[in-house]
Structure 1
Amino acid sequence: MNRILLILLLFAVVFAGCKKGYDAVALQRQQAVIDDGIIQKYIDDNNLRGSVKQVDSANVATGIYYIVLQPGSGNDLFTNSTRVTVDYTAKILTTGKLFAQSNDFHPSFTLGEVMPAWRLAIPEIKKGGKIRILSPSRYAYGPYDQPGIGLPKNSVVDFEIELLDITN
């Protein structure tokens, strides 16, 4: 009888803990509202309304904004297996702190393996093009600190990317 009561007590504690537990979806929604507000304020404060566009994915607004600095040329087809060679800088949007750049090294990435902000925005330009991407944290590094590069969790990121080469 004691075992049954102990098991019932254990179940009650587990179920009670579930109701008060970590709600990842709610936290993601809260962070999305914060990120979107930061980006909108930046766009307004810097008079970018006329030149900035939002990336749509399957006709759904993503919250990723971009400015085509130079369109590039060609009739490139982008897929998840497309290999892109880039020159880039990455800054925290709110502080302007540079946390990553390619310098003289021009890395190549498979488009399907890069962060969603890059995967969704890079196809807006062609080879030789340059793009600036304003990315909410959910499409960049997310809710994770990146101490190796000095990037706090939930950072809204400003990327400037030059598309040097495309290989399919």
Structure 2
Amino acid sequence: MACGKSTSTGKAVYEAQKAIDDKIIADYLKANPTLNATKIDTSGVYYIVIQPGSGNALFTRSTRVTIADTGRLLTTGQLFRQTNEFHPSFTLSEIILGWQLGIPKIKKGGIVRLLIPSRYAYGPNPQPLVGVEFGLKNGLPANAILDFNIQLYDITN
């Protein structure tokens, strides 16, 4: 019985945070109607294609992408990540779910903006080292809603 209570409590906490995140993103989009954001299925992740890119792109979980990105907290605008001249490569299965859903919306050379609810980023898990170099004293907080601009430099299958 204790396990059932724990699970229902966990689900209630998840659903409560989901409602909070979705309202914050909806309010942000309502205040910024020119963004023309599109919701990805029922995920709560929104994307704005800034530049579509070109070529054929087939994305799988093993696709390797080389990107440049800038990440901010949606609620404060605080910068927490910026790659500048360094262009990291990742396999799609290694990155946060919000990126896994959003990056395939563009092709090589494309730029996409992603608004990512916490459940598709790091959820209730704070990231104490992320963003410290940009002034986030304690790193990314738990349940952070993220705002990324991502440029896709290369795709390898």
Whether the TM-score (by the shorter chain) exceeds 0.5 is yes
Aligned residues: 148
Q: CA, structure 1 residues 20+104, in 2 after alignment: closer, same or farther (shift >3 Å)?
A: same
Give the Å deviation of 1:21: 4.7
Verify: 1:160 aligned to 2:141, yes or no: no
CA distance in 2, matches of 1:20, 1:161: 41
Q: 2-side partners of 1:103 and 1:120: how far apart?
A: 23
Q: Secondary structure at the residue paired with 1:103? A: coil
CA distance in 1, matches of 2:105, 2:15: 27
Larger Rg: 1
Amino acid at match of 2:156: T
Cα distance in 1 for residues equivalent to 2:6 and 2:64: 42
- What does residue 140 of structure 2 align with? 151
Select which of 104, 117, 135 maps to 1:123: 104
The answer for the alignment partner of 1:9 in structure 2 is none
Percentage of matched positions with identical amino acids: 55
Would you identify which runs of 4 or more consecutive aligned residues in structure 1 move more than 6 Å?
Answer: none
From 29, 32, 43, give the equivalent of 1:46.
32
1:13-162 aligned within 5 A = 21=6, 23-48=9-34, 51-56=36-41, 61-149=42-130, 150-162=139-151
Residue equivalent to 1:6: none
Paired AA for residue 38 in structure 2: K
Q: How far did 1:19 drift? A: 7.0
Distance in 2, Cα, partners of 1:83 & 1:20: 41
Measure how far apart 1:80 and its partner are. 0.5
Shift of 1:48: 3.7
Q: 1:31 to 1:167 in 2, by over 3 A?
A: same
- Give 3-state SS (helix, strand or coil) of 1:109's partner: strand
* Gap regions ≥5 residues in structure 1: 1-14
For 2:4 and 2:68, how far apart are their aligned partners in 1?
47
Write out per-residue CA displacement over residues 14-53 of structure 1, whole angstroms, 9 at most, x where no aligned residue. x5x667657111100000000000000000111246x110
